[in-house]
Structure 1
Amino acid sequence: MSNLTIEERVRAIAEHVVADYGLELVHVEVVGARRRLVRIFIDKPEGVTHEDCSVVSEHVGTILDVEDFIPSSYVLEVSSPGLERGLYKREDYVRFAGRAARVRTREAIEGQRNFRGRIVGVEGDAVTFDDRVRGQISIPFGLIVKANLEIDLAEEFKRAEELAAARRVQTEGEG
């Protein structure tokens, strides 16, 4: 394990810890040189709680202290990826197909590097994306520099209304 970078070692530790708690490891970042910031983003379908973050932070922090491979002091942050979560893995694009997103590429595709629209799905080694300007386009994973979900307020209000209606039906059925 000594040939791995600090970030890779932190990711390996975090993967084991989050798996023990039924959570998903979304992303790991290690930034800074003199005083490092170690960020771990976790998620679960029903949303991450403060308790989830606290438990993961405690366990990962203990392992990092015992293994002592980070050469300087560090700050450990464990949090939810947020509403506009980053998309890092092929599975993210499959899971969030149909959702609004932003994608930035390393190189221009048909003269464009920044895309906004909806994730259609995944085909082979590329994301099929419905861009607001270009229409449907295939974006190879290897060219993606950064990608995030984008909040569509109308969609979020509709989702919240559907959830509230489902809860009312469930409550009425119980009573």
Structure 2
Amino acid sequence: MGLPIEQKVEVLVTPIIQELGLELVDVEYIKEGAHWYLRLYIDKEDGIDLDDCTNVSHAVSDLLDKNDPIPQAYMLEVSSPGLERPLKKDEDFIRYQGKLIHIRTKEPFQGYHEFTGYLAGLENDVIILEYEKEKVQLPRNIIEKANLALEF
């Protein structure tokens, strides 16, 4: 059956995005109403601007048209991951240590599906979250979604 569309796109576009000095944070392929959307979320150390989004859009459009990893018509959108940036790669969990994050699990863990706390680290595929002076160790394979959380 092959790789999911998001993974095919990620493999194709990552090198060109890196050449532009940017990081591919996430790829989303989703149907909203009658239309399909391919969303690329990009970032760099000091944040991205409209020019970055435009440059990536132009650079990857031709590549995607040529390689045609998506069978149906779709709209390409390139944007910032926002303040609640998703955390997916090991590097994300290392880079954002000490930051407030939110995790949703695929199944209940210690009776809960959602956890918010300070990222204390990543060890052996376990995310360590500090919450009210306690540490919770969440196995990576049960995490459905992890992202930075806004601090108030």
Q: Does TM-score exceed 0.5, indicating one fold? A: yes
Shift of 1:47: 0.6
Preserved CA contact (<8 Å) 1:35 1:72 = no
Q: Distance in 1 between matches of 2:36 and 2:7?
A: 15
Matches within 5 A, 1:108-119: 108-119=108-119
Matches within 5 A, 1:131-170: 131-132=131-132, 135-153=134-152
- Is the aligned partner of 1:41 residue 2:56? no
Preserved CA contact (<8 Å) 2:100 2:149 = yes
Shift of 1:91: 1.4
Runs of 5+ unmatched residues, structure 1: 154-175
How high is the TM-score relative to the length of structure 2?
0.91
How high is the TM-score relative to the length of structure 1?
0.80
- Is the aligned partner of 1:54 residue 2:54? yes
Shift of 1:149: 0.5
Q: 1 or 2 for the larger relative contact order (CA 8 Å, sep ≥6)?
A: 2
Preserved CA contact (<8 Å) 1:30 1:37 = yes
Q: Distance in 1 between matches of 2:36 and 2:141?
A: 28
Secondary structure, aligned partner of 1:16: helix
- Is the aligned partner of 1:27 residue 2:26? yes
Amino acid paired to 1:125: D
Q: Distance in 1 between matches of 2:44 and 2:143?
A: 24
Preserved CA contact (<8 Å) 2:129 2:135 = yes
Shift of 1:4: 3.2
* Identical aligned residues as a percent: 38
Secondary structure, aligned partner of 2:101: strand
Amino acid paired to 2:119: I
- Is the aligned partner of 1:14 residue 2:13? yes
Q: 1:63 corresponds to which residue?
A: 63
Shift of 1:55: 0.5
Structure (1 or 2) with the greater helix fraction = 1
Q: Distance in 2 between matches of 1:36 and 1:130?
A: 38
Shift of 1:126: 0.4
